[in-house]
């Protein structure tokens, strides 16, 4: 019999892509107010893996990632996705998004994104939101899956995600040490 146990906390990671780089600090401040201090911020990365967003957002598109010091509960991902959808709507101009925001979380073994789009490999997590298992971490590296978005299989994105994973491992270790000292 399997014995249920609480899921581990996760490291929140939010990707933002836009044509207007000047929106990133404004959006980052909204994130900071909602989720606490920023931990890591990626360099600007080109986003040229698909023309899917060009009609709506124009081009060229650039991507930047943010992670946060405070760990989150995995089950909060659907609420976070709904919140970031609201941010996207608040920046719309003439019915078009100016920013696209992809929240997800990092654990030791996987990186998961939130989406409102159902598909065979996505798991419903509530509030009309699905979890997309985007990357596995196996044998010392990230492994893309057949459905992984091409940008998440790209070296620049994964280099940042390695930093996030390392910081996550450190944060979990510090949390355990804090808990063990608090129990003395």
- 76-101: pLDDT as tens digits: 999 999 999 999 999 999 999 999 99
Report pLDDT for 181.
65
Beta bridge partners of 138: 141
Report pLDDT for 175.
84
Evaluate if residue 123 carries a pLDDT over 90: yes
Q: What residues make up the domain containing 31?
A: 10-176
User: pTM for this structure?
Assistant: 0.94
Does residue 155 lie in a domain region? Answer: yes
Q: Max CA-CA distance within the chain?
A: 59
Three-state secondary structure call for residue 47: strand
CA distance 143 to 104: 17
Helix (H) or strand (E) holding 21: none
Does residue 181 lie in a domain region? Answer: no
Residue 122 pLDDT level (bands cut at 50, 70, 90)? very high
Does residue 5 lie in a domain region? Answer: no
DSSP state of 152: G
Does residue 103 lie in a domain region? Answer: yes
Does residue 164 lie in a domain region? Answer: yes
Number of domains making up the chain: 1
Report pLDDT for 146.
97
Evaluate if residue 182 carries a pLDDT over 70: no
Give the mean model confidence (pLDDT) for residues 26-44.
Answer: 96
CA distance 184 to 180: 7
Report pLDDT for 3.
96
Residue 57 pLDDT level (bands cut at 50, 70, 90)? very high
Residue 160 burial by Cβ neighbours in a 10 Å radius (0-12, 13-18, 19+): buried
Report pLDDT for 53.
87
Give the mean model confidence (pLDDT) for residues 20-45.
Answer: 95
Q: How many CB atoms lie within 10 A of CB 158?
A: 18
Does residue 141 lie in a domain region? Answer: yes
CA distance 41 to 74: 21
Does residue 129 lie in a domain region? Answer: yes
Report pLDDT for 136.
98
Does residue 55 lie in a domain region? Answer: yes
């Amino acid at each position: 019999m399997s014995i249920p146990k609480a899921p581990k906390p996760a490291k929140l990671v939010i990707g933002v892509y836009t044509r207007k780089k000047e929106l990133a600090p404004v959006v980052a401040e909204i994130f900071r107010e909602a989720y606490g201090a920023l931990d890591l911020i990626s360099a600007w990365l080109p986003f040229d893996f698909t023309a899917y967003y060009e009609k709506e957002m124009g081009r060229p598109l650039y991507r930047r990632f943010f992670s946060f010091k405070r760990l989150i509960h995995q089950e909060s991902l659907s609420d976070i996705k709904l919140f970031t959808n609201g941010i996207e709507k608040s920046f719309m101009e003439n019915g078009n998004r100016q920013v696209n925001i992809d929240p997800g979380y990092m654990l030791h073994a996987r990186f998961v994104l939130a989406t409102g789009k159902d598909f065979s490999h996505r798991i419903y997590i509530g509030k009309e939101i699905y979890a997309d298992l985007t990357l596995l971490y196996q044998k010392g590296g990230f492994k893309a899956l057949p459905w992984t978005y091409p940008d998440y299989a790209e070296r620049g994105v994964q280099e940042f995600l390695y930093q996030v994973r390392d910081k996550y491992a450190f944060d979990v270790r510090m949390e355990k040490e804090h808990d063990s000292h608090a129990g003395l």
